[in-house]
């Protein structure tokens, strides 16, 4: 599968965050930004040029686009990927970066066609929240695993076993490669969705996807979570907080906490 890269020229950091939030609701799956522009990535089959033009017209902005093929994704990524330091937790870096010397957990990620290098706010929110979860010896489910970065972090935080699932073949292949790079051997990576995961006894469930999928699968996530288990969600905007809280509580979860970063949030629930 090929991706389209959309480049939007704006030096306004706050506007870049607003655009990232809006584009995430239009099926854009990955973002990177610098002081001059925002880049967004979407599968070619989901790209709607008219909708994008309409959105950007509201901000008096235009865009350029290019096709990102599987074979040239690494070249694009290597040109822009700097290590991500998540304070008190980990450093997420590429194989060509030097190992960190700050005493933090060291995660090596090669994203290829998958998204999840730690640059996006939602990955950072999840990683920060995970350090406070009872991860030691836990049975963990990573729903929508992408590069496998959260599964790898869970393993390094002491989880006993992790089941990871993603519906993109490239993501599954990428996650398995990243597991090997990190010498992580307790992650089972599955191609598919929640229906392909038979286990119903997870201590911790991680789901960094988007509001629509979370709302659809919330009752099933409740079934898969053990009593006293934890559910950590992201891929969510500030405006999603109430509807996600209502959905989770309706399924049976108990609300615990919301973690904000810019326009994004992660939310933690427990199963009483």
Is 110 part of a structural domain of the chain?
A: no
Based on the fold, state whether residues 130 and 246 are members of the same structural domain.
yes
CA angle 68, 74, 75 (to 5 degrees): 85
CA distance 247 to 114: 28
Using CA atoms, how far apart are residues 123 and 271, in angstroms rounded to an integer? 23
Cβ-Cβ contacts under 8 Å for 20 (sequence gap 6 or more): 31, 33, 38, 40, 263
Residue at 212 is within a domain: yes
How many domains would you assign to the chain?
Answer: 2
State pLDDT tens for residues 85-107: 898 899 998 888 888 777 899 99
- Has residue 105 been placed in a domain? no
Domain that residue 229 falls in = 115-271
pTM, 2 dp: 0.80
Q: What contacts 76, CB < 8 A, 6 or more positions away?
A: 5, 68
pLDDT digits 0-9 by tens, 151-192? 999 999 999 999 999 988 888 998 999 999 999 999 999 999
Look at residue 34 in the predicted model and tell me its pLDDT.
74
- Domain boundary among the residues 68, 103, 125 is at 68
Alpha-carbon span 43 to 29, nearest angstrom: 8
- Weakest mean pLDDT among 69-73, 129-133, 264-268: 69-73
> 147 and 213, same structural domain?
yes
In whole angstroms, give the CA distance from residue 26 to residue 241.
18
CATH number at residue 181: 3.40.50.150
Residues 241 and 120 in one domain: yes
CATH of the domain at 42: 3.30.70.790
CA pair distance 68, 175, nearest whole angstrom? 20
16 and 130 housed in the same domain: no
CB of 110 closer than 8 Å to CB of 95: yes
**Model confidence band, residue 197 (pLDDT cutoffs 50, 70, 90):** very high
125 and 49: one domain?
A: no
Give the pLDDT score at 199: 93
* 14 is a domain residue: yes
Which of 31, 51, 68 is a domain's end point?
68
- Predicted local distance difference test score (pLDDT) of residue 40: 87
């Amino acid at each position: 599968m090929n991706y389209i890269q959309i480049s939007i020229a704006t030096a306004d950091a706050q506007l870049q965050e607003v655009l990232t939030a809006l584009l995430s609701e239009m099926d854009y799956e990955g973002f990177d930004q610098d002081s001059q522009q925002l880049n967004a990535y979407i599968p070619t089959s989901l790209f709607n040029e008219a909708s994008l033009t309409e959105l950007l017209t509201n901000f008096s902005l235009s865009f350029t686009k290019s096709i990102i093929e599987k074979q040239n994704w690494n070249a694009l990524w290597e040109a822009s990927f700097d290590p991500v330091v998540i304070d008190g937790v980990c450093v997420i870096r590429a194989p060509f970066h030097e190992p960190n010397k700050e005493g933090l957990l060291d995660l090596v990620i090669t994203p290829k066609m998958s998204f999840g290098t730690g640059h996006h706010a939602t990955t950072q929110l999840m990683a920060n929240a995970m350090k406070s979860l009872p991860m030691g010896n836990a049975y963990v489910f990573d729903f929508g695993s992408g590069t496998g970065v959260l599964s790898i972090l869970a393993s390094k935080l002491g989880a006993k076993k992790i089941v990871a699932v993603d519906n993109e073949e490239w993501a599954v292949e990428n996650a398995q490669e990243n597991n090997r790079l990190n010498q992580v051997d307790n992650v089972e990576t599955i191609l598919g969705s929640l229906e392909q995961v038979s286990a119903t006894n997870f201590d911790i469930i991680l789901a960094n996807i988007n509001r629509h999928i979370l709302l659809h699968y919330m009752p099933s996530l409740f079934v898969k979570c053990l009593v006293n288990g934890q559910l950590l969600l992201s891929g969510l905007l500030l405006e999603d907080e109430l509807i996600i809280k209502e959905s989770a509580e309706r399924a049976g979860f108990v609300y615990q906490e919301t973690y904000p970063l810019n326009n994004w949030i992660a939310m933690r629930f427990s199963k009483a």
